[in-house]
Amino acid sequence: MANPRHLKVLDSNRAPVSGQPIMGFTFAAVLRPLAIGLALIALLTLAAPADAVLSGTNGRIVFIDGPAFGNTQLYLRSVTSSTGAGSTTGPLATGLTDQHRHPTWSPDRTKVAFAEGPGGATGYDIYILDLTTPGATPKRVTNSPGITDDRPAWSPDGTRIAYESGNDIIVHPLNGDADLNLTGLLAPKAWKAAWSPDSQTVYYSVGDITQPPNGTNNDIRLYQQLADNSSAGTELLHITGAHVFQPSISPDGTKLCYTSSTAAGNSTTAAVLAAPLSSPGSFTVIADSLKGDYNCTWSPDGTKIAYTEDFGSNGEIYMTDSGGSGIPIDLSNVAGMFDGNPDWAPDGRPTCPDASATTTVNKPVTITVTCSDTGPAYERSNVRDYHATNPSHGTLKQEFAGDPFVYTPNAGFVGTDSFQVGSFDDFGFGTDTGTVTITVRPTPKCLGKTATIVGTAGNDVLTGTPGNDVIVGLGGDDRIRGGRGKDVICSGPGRDRVTGGSGNDVIVGGPGNDTLGGGPGNDRIFGNSGADRLSGDSGSDTLNGGSGRDRLNGGSGTDRCNGGSGLDRGSSCEVRSGIP
């Protein structure tokens, strides 16, 4: 265990106070070193996360993985539970061959900005990769020969990227406006920017990571400054005798986490602290492994903090509770590789549309609701729906989430009922709900007779019994077969195919282009609006085309054909009316 230290804390909102002894913790800051005239073991391991302060449900972490101080690449790690469940995908194809580091999400999660260069501490430029186009060539944002551009941080409003350029913090508008240098008057060097959630304020550190803190001028301090450069930066936090740097602001803007160290460069004294933004010196220790903990980033829901532990080939990404409790969880665990520079994005929540269904009294109806994931296509996962509320006038059954619902109205109920549908994907529950409205109608009639077989508003296949049936198709493109018996059939609207079967049947088509066949027996067939095809088959049939261009075929037997309005054609019609 490290020796407890009494440190003096200075911040812009408080008078100097004596820090309390903390067992097992020595202030150390593994700042994202960029070299200050010194090739400090590649400083890759000091790469800090680029924070966009994106709020929402916890989604994917973009990070780097690869040989220590070598050509690391970009990866995505889904975090689907508080226990760290999830999977890693990558590397992301960029077409660039050098070291990738310090990725930062665009607020809409369609892009990632990152630094790429030859390894070591210098020679980097900023690029943007479009994740919605597989194999896309990254867009080059900076091209600064002799100057390292590094550690980008995308503003939450999506309009700007702040990054380190040499010794300064630059705010780069993505609309082509002129860059702003926030720190031209500060020395020796400004480090790693972070944004406030409203995109109005930039936080950064100023100091020299190559020098150990000495309680005065060598200490790296935190600053805050308006992003429009309308005023100079002001000191936010100074811990006497310690470096403080790598700030990250919580999604709600009320807290920050940062790295603190009592040694120069990559130090095992590095620890991650969290504090109220209004009192940044009143900290809670988040991680103090004595291996070096740094590069903190907040989870989108504010309950977790991810960070890097250890350096070089031992570097791993851990997650722990943002309140300082709990056991850290290793999210990367790749032996012999450096995993670091995490930046955490939210996940798009699934949504559910409203839906409707129609049934008749005492008849169950199966209802399918299609909830869908949102966000860029690459991040969408399987969505399953469930009933968030129950109907008031019936019962609801669903075997498993995502299966269709079976609604059964209460006995004798006629009217309108409804229930709410929610959904969840691999990352959690959505907040949006859809309303399913069910209309329960009285048992329909066909030619004044109460139906014995009733379809739905969808596409149905209805088959009669050997007896005398009254069949009503309702809506949809139905297929109806009457079977034996004297049947009465009303097909309803839609493009229906109806066969009366044997027996003396009465068939009434609905609006739409129907195909109506009587089958054996003396049938009466009535078309409706639309271009219908009527066929009498054997027997003495009566065919009435109705409005529209109809085709009437009486079949064998002595048939009567009435074309109705429209240009109709008839065949095998012994008695014709309205047919040329």
Tens digits of residue pLDDT in 38-58:
222 233 333 333 344 688 999
* Cα angle value 37/43/47 (rounded, 5°): 125
pLDDT at 291: 98
Q: Is the pTM of this model over 0.85?
A: no
pLDDT band at 22 (very low <50, low <70, confident <90, very high): very low
Residue in 318, 276, 281 with CA at minimum distance from that of residue 296: 318
Query: Please, is 285 exposed, middle or buried when counting C-beta atoms within 10 Å of its C-beta (0-12, 13-18, 19+)?
Result: middle
Residue 333 CA to residue 224 CA, distance in Å, equals 35
The stretch 449-466 carries a mean pLDDT of: 92
Q: What Cα–Cα distance (Å) separates residue 174 from each residue in 140, 179, 363?
A: 12, 9, 59
Residue 109 CA to residue 158 CA, distance in Å, equals 10
The stretch 311-323 carries a mean pLDDT of: 97
520 touches 504 (CB < 8 A): no
Residue 94 CA to residue 65 CA, distance in Å, equals 14
pLDDT at residue 30 greater than cutoff 70: no
pLDDT band at 530 (very low <50, low <70, confident <90, very high): confident
DSSP 314: G
- The pLDDT mean for the chain works out to 90
Q: What is the rounded radius of gyration, in angstroms, for the C-alpha atoms of the chain?
A: 36
Domains of the chain, earliest start first: 8-347 (2.120.10.30), 355-441 (2.60.40.10), 449-577 (no CATH)
Query: Please, is 251 exposed, middle or buried when counting C-beta atoms within 10 Å of its C-beta (0-12, 13-18, 19+)?
Result: buried
More confident residue, 419 or 121: 419
pLDDT at 289: 97
Q: In the block, which residue shows the tokens 């691999």?
A: 426
What's phi and psi for 414, nearest 5 deg?
Answer: -135, 130
Mean pLDDT lowest among 50-54, 307-311, 340-344: 50-54
The stretch 81-101 carries a mean pLDDT of: 95
Three-state SS annotation for 142-200:
CCCCCCCEEEEEECCCCCEEEEEECCEEEEEECCCCCCEECCCCCCCCEEEEEECCCCC
pLDDT at 53: 60
pLDDT at 68: 86
Type of residue at 338: F
Joined together, the tokens standing for residue 112 give: 């990632």
pLDDT band at 167 (very low <50, low <70, confident <90, very high): very high
pLDDT at residue 3 greater than cutoff 90: no
Cis peptide before 188 (omega within 30 of 0): yes
The stretch 318-333 carries a mean pLDDT of: 95
